């Protein structure tokens, strides 16, 4: 039998909260909170997090203001993360646009030509390209309309600016392998890591990174110094392709995770309970990150498909400046919500419900340091010191 929906005045709602053990110290403030947030958004969405275990009552001394603080903590984190997912989206679109334009030109007839894409699943490829033709014919934004009216063609960087993240993700999925690798090289900071003291070109760093990843397995299969060089090259090429496929899989998982997270935000879902359908694999992740996170901890704590997984993805896909800014904003958010004992109690509960490690901002700093090499960076940008944002004057 379905429950009946009843209308309650704000005063009745406050009385109902008192009946469940919640302290309402001021009816006027309580009414204002309910008017601005709504009973469902402020109470129903969070009560299970705060209820005593196995009971439908709040712990002693829990106030309506505590629920509001809990709500604000999640709201503020949501706003921070949403902003940086937009930065990832913009970066992805820029790199796909550059790859398309540099390889196929700026005319949609060229860069949306079916034969430029992966035809392994031809019907899916055709369907995705058709969606971009529809965007072209029915502009959603002013820049695309402007280019259609004033230029001979619409370049890919304008077309993709009109696409949603899900559409962009699908376009990446049908790109030829060499363009996927180009985008991964551009977005994942694998070629920015330090291999020795001599400065190297990006391509040189990339080749050294690939060899570093396959070297151990290569030495198990062949004797690099004694075997026929042709055989060594053939085995090395096979291992390189295998590893690059793993990078494509990892990158695709990252983009899918960001897309899942954005969809959850768009539908008003709570980020506390967020679980992506796509789980980061520890072994693949460890190929680009060297940090003190054990596989056992990563797997048993399910860190790969929740908020912690999203934070790792952001660290990997943001440029080095945005990654540092994200850490700075997370630390500010953390500080603002831990200034008093009651604040810390509410904050710690929220972190626990999010399945975030207590020292997650420190771990993100470690991840960021493992991804980027800062020696020349600090000399060029005075607002950075030791790989961290300096205080602004």
**197 in Cβ contact with 373 (< 8 Å):** no
CA atoms within a 13 Å half-sphere pointing along the CA-CB vector of 92: 29
Cα distances (Å, whole numbers) of residue 45 to 15, 41, 50, 67: 18, 6, 10, 10
Looking at residue 197, its pLDDT comes to 45
Both structure tokens of 22 = 């919640």
DSSP H or E stretch at residue 30: helix 27-37
Closest CA to 317 of 186, 188, 164, 182: 188
Distance of CA 319 to the CA centre of its chain: 12
* Beta strands, E only, the chain: 384-385, 388-389
Closest CA to 89 of 265, 282, 336: 265
Round to whole Å and give the CA distance between 213 and 193.
Answer: 13
Round to whole Å and give the CA distance between 219 and 215.
Answer: 6
pLDDT per residue as tens, the chain (393 positions): 788 888 999 999 999 999 888 999 999 999 999 999 899 988 888 888 888 877 778 888 888 998 999 999 999 999 999 999 999 999 999 999 999 999 999 999 999 999 999 888 899 999 999 999 999 999 999 999 999 999 999 999 999 999 999 999 999 999 999 999 999 999 988 755 444 444 555 788 888 889 888 998 999 999 988 899 999 999 999 999 999 999 999 999 999 999 999 999 988 889 988 999 999 988 888 888 876 777 888 888 888 889 999 999 999 999 989 999 999 999 999 999 999 998 999 999 999 999 998 999 999 998 888 887 543 333 333 333 344 433 333
Round to whole Å and give the CA distance between 222 and 215.
Answer: 10
Residues comprising the chain, all counted: 393
Q: Is the pTM of this model over 0.95?
A: no
Q: How many CB atoms lie within 10 A of CB 90?
A: 14
Judging by beta carbons within 10 Å of its beta carbon (0-12, 13-18, 19+), is residue 314 exposed, middle or buried?
buried
Looking at residue 340, its pLDDT comes to 93
Q: How many CB atoms lie within 10 A of CB 294?
A: 9
DSSP H or E stretch at residue 384: strand 384-385
């Amino acid at each position: 039998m379905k429950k009946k929906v009843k209308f309650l005045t704000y005063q009745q709602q406050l009385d109902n909260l008192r009946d469940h053990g919640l302290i309402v110290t001021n009816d006027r403030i309580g009414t204002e909170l309910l008017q601005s947030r709504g009973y469902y958004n402020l109470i129903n969405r969070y009560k299970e997090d705060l209820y005593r275990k196995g009971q439908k009552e709040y712990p002693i001394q829990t106030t309506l203001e505590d629920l509001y603080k809990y709500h604000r903590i999640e709201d503020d984190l949501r706003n921070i993360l949403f902003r940086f997912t937009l930065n990832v989206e913009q970066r992805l679109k820029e790199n796909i646009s550059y790859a398309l334009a540099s390889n196929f030109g700026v005319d949609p007839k060229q860069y949306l030509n079916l034969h430029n894409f992966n035809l392994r699943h031809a019907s899916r490829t055709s369907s995705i390209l058709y969606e971009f033709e529809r965007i072209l014919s029915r502009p959603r934004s002013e820049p695309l309309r402007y280019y259609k009216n004033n230029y001979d063609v619409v370049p890919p960087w304008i077309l993709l600016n009109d696409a949603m993240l899900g559409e962009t993700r699908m376009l990446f999925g049908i790109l030829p392998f060499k363009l996927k690798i180009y985008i991964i090289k551009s977005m994942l900071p694998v070629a920015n890591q330090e291999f020795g003291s001599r400065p190297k070109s990006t391509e040189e760093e990339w080749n050294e990174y690939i060899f570093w990843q396959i070297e151990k397995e290569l030495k198990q299969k062949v004797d690099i110094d004694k075997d026929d060089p042709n055989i060594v090259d053939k085995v090395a090429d096979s291992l390189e392709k295998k590893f690059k496929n793993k990078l494509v899989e990892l990158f695709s998982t990252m983009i899918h995770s960001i897309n899942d997270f954005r969809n959850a935000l768009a539908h008003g879902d709570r980020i506390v309970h967020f679980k992506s359908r796509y789980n980061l694999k520890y072994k693949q992740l460890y190929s680009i990150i060297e940090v003190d996170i054990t596989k056992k901890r990563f797997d048993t704590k399910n860190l790969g498909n929740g908020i912690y997984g999203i934070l790792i993805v952001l660290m990997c896909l943001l440029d080095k400046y945005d990654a540092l800014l994200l850490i700075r904003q997370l630390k500010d958010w953390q500080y603002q919500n831990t200034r008093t004992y009651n604040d810390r109690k509410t904050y710690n509960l929220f972190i626990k419900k999010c399945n975030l490690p207590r020292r997650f901002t420190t771990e993100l700093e470690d991840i960021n340091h493992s991804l980027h090499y800062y020696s020349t960076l600090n000399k060029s940008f005075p607002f950075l010191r030791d790989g961290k944002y300096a205080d602004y004057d």
